[in-house]
Structure 1
C-alpha cells in the first residue's frame, strides 16, 4: 500500500493566507460599494498595509523554504504565485474605489 506524502505545513498556510487576504479585501470592497461609507476607505487602507506586511514576511519565508526544500518545489511555487496574485487584485480594487474621484 502506498503511503501518502503530505506537503509541508508552510505551503498549506501560504495558500490559506493568500485566500483569506483576497477574501477579506473583497468583503471590504463590497461593503464600500454598497454603503459608500468613508470609514471603509480608511479600513481598507489599513487592511492593505497590514496584509502587505504579513504576506510579505510570509512570502519571504516561502522563498527561503523553496531554496532549502526542493522536494516540493512545484507546491511552493504555486503557493508563492497565489500570494503574488493579491497584488494586482489590490491595484484593481484601488482603481474601482478611486475611479469616480478622477
Structure 2
C-alpha cells in the first residue's frame, strides 16, 4: 500500500498556527503575571506581525488548495488551524483591555 505524504505547506501551516498561538499565550501569561506595560506594546506588535505573516501564508494555502484538490483535507485542517487563532487573539485582547475599560 502506498503511503500518501502530507504536503509540506500544510505541515508548515499547522506549525505556524501552533507557534503563533503559543507565543501569543506566553506574552499574555507574562503580562498577567507582571502587569508590565511594555508587554502590551510587545503583544500588539506581535499581533500585527502574526496577522500579516499568517495572512500571507493563509492566502498561499488557499491558492495551493485550488491546484491540489486531491489532498483537500490536509489543506482544510491547516487553514482551520490558522483561522482558530483569530478568535483566540480576540479573546486575549479582551482579557488585556477589559480592565482598561472598567477604570
TM-score calculated relative to the size of structure 2: 0.96
Extract unaligned runs of 5+ from structure 1.
none
Extract unaligned runs of 5+ from structure 2.
none
Give the helix-richer structure, 1 or 2.
Answer: 2
Query: How many corresponding residue pairs?
Result: 101
- Measured after TM superposition, the shift of residue 5 of structure 1 is 1.3
RMSD between superposed Cα atoms in Å: 0.5
| Whole-angstrom CA distance in 1 between matches of 2:12 and 2:37 | 33
Deviation by residue 1:21-42 (Cα, 9 ceiling, x = unmatched): 0000000000000000000000
| Whole-angstrom CA distance in 2 between matches of 1:42 and 1:101 | 14
Write the mapping of 1:7-86 to structure 2, written as runs, cut at 5 A: 7-86=6-85
- Measured after TM superposition, the shift of residue 46 of structure 1 is 0.4
| Whole-angstrom CA distance in 1 between matches of 2:48 and 2:97 | 17
TM-score calculated relative to the size of structure 1: 0.97
| Whole-angstrom CA distance in 1 between matches of 2:2 and 2:73 | 20
| Whole-angstrom CA distance in 2 between matches of 1:81 and 1:5 | 21
